[in-house]
Amino acid sequence: MIAKINLKEQGLTETTPRLAVLKAMEANTAQHMSADDVYRYLLERDRPLPMSTVYRVLAQFEQAGIVERHSFDAERTKQVYELKDSEHHDHMICIKCRSVHEFLDPQIESRQIEIVENLGFSLTDHSLNLYGICAGCDRKDAQSEEAIKQ
Amino acid sequence: MIAKINLKEQGLTETTPRLAVLKAMEANTAQHMSADDVYRYLLERDRPLPMSTVYRVLAQFEQAGIVERHSFDAERTKQVYELKDSEHHDHMICIKCRSVHEFLDPQIESRQIEIVENLGFSLTDHSLNLYGICAGCDRKDAQSEEAIKQ
DNA sequence: ATACGAATGCGAATCAGTCGCAATACCATT
DNA sequence: AATGGTATTGCGACTGATTCGCATTCGTAT
């Protein structure tokens, strides 16, 4: 659960566009949203905002620590955003259905710190993305192979 | 050391542009090369190739498994390529000087597989990027702080 | 040498994201 | 509630990275 976010507390004045983008993000916590997703959500469910404003507001939110930006797709380099909950986590991305599963593994987390320290490097951030095929798509694959055999 | 690559063995006919790009990559194994780096290298040291061809050839190489494509920069989304040696490895990127250090940690590798298996997911690929400040830049930072104090 | 398909060169197009600037909205103050 | 000054927005034009379409050229098997 993500605590209700108050823009003023994050040092941002409350403007209509910012509230709209925040609402869009809060309404879609289940998925990672691209700027375009936010744009289309607002167009359909709310009041249209120009793309440039969507980008700007998302950048402001990122700076303020309200959202986190990721770039999952190994090929296409579209960026997506998610509301930042207190817990850091890594991502597992299904290359078939593009679904994203979040996880956190303490063992990996602590090992990363060890590696980095051994090299005199100071860690500010990291991203671990696992790409593969999720259980759901795997099942579907098996089914369609069945179908072909018949 | 990377084994000498033979284009024909990888299913690619030997053309002048492909050989040129391969040479450029082989001459710069120490760094990760962007399409633009390859373009400029050829312009200066060899014979110019149009950007579109550089991109095309790099894409062909990627498909053939000759190079690997990464996107390190968390913000800017420029892609870089490196010749694929047999060993997979992860990357540690200095956010100051942009230098990239490669590493491989068996503990993390095996833990990833465990995590994925527990979730019925089949792993095809992964990327682990650690961002921080390298020993060299850390030293420089400390020095300039000294300088300011004086 | 010839012919066929594959690969290239060229520029135009696309795609995601950013920028400059005039117009407007916030909000503290009267 | 009106006012003023700053922060934010809307608009369109722009950029940088990458891709595409298509006529031309090259590589290779005959």
pLDDT for A38-57, tens place per residue?
999 999 999 999 999 999 99
- Indicate the pLDDT class of residue A146, thresholds 50, 70 and 90: low
For residue B33, which of B83, B85, B104, B87 has the smallest C-alpha distance? B83
Tell whether the model's pLDDT for residue B149 goes beyond 60: no
CA A66/CA A15 separation, integer angstroms: 15
Nearest residue for D17, CA–C1': B78
pLDDT score of A75 more than 60: no
Q: Has residue B48 got a pLDDT over 60?
A: yes
For an interface test with A, give the residue of B111, B121, B122 to mutate (most A CBs within 10 A): B121
How many interchain CB pairs under 8 A, A with B? 125
Q: pLDDT tens digits for A81-113?
A: 998 876 788 989 887 777 888 899 999 999 999
Could you give the angle at the alpha carbon of A89 between the alpha carbons of A83 and A90, nearest 5°?
110
Q: Residue A110's pLDDT is what?
A: 93
* Residues B112-143: tens digit of each pLDDT: 999 999 989 988 888 898 988 888 887 776 67
What percentage of chain A has pLDDT greater than the value 90?
A: 50
Please give the share of chain B, as a percent, with pLDDT higher than 90.
48
Most confident of A89-98, B12-21, B96-105: B12-21
Q: Which residues pair with A50 in a beta bridge?
A: none
Say which DSSP state A11 is in: T
Average pLDDT value over all residues in chain A: 87
Domains annotated for chain A, with CATH where assigned, are 1-86 (1.10.10.10), 87-150 (3.30.1490.190)
Q: What residues have CB less than 8 Å from B122, skipping those under 6 apart?
A: A132, A133, A138, B116
Q: Does the nearest atom of strand C lie within 7 Å of A10's Cβ? A: no
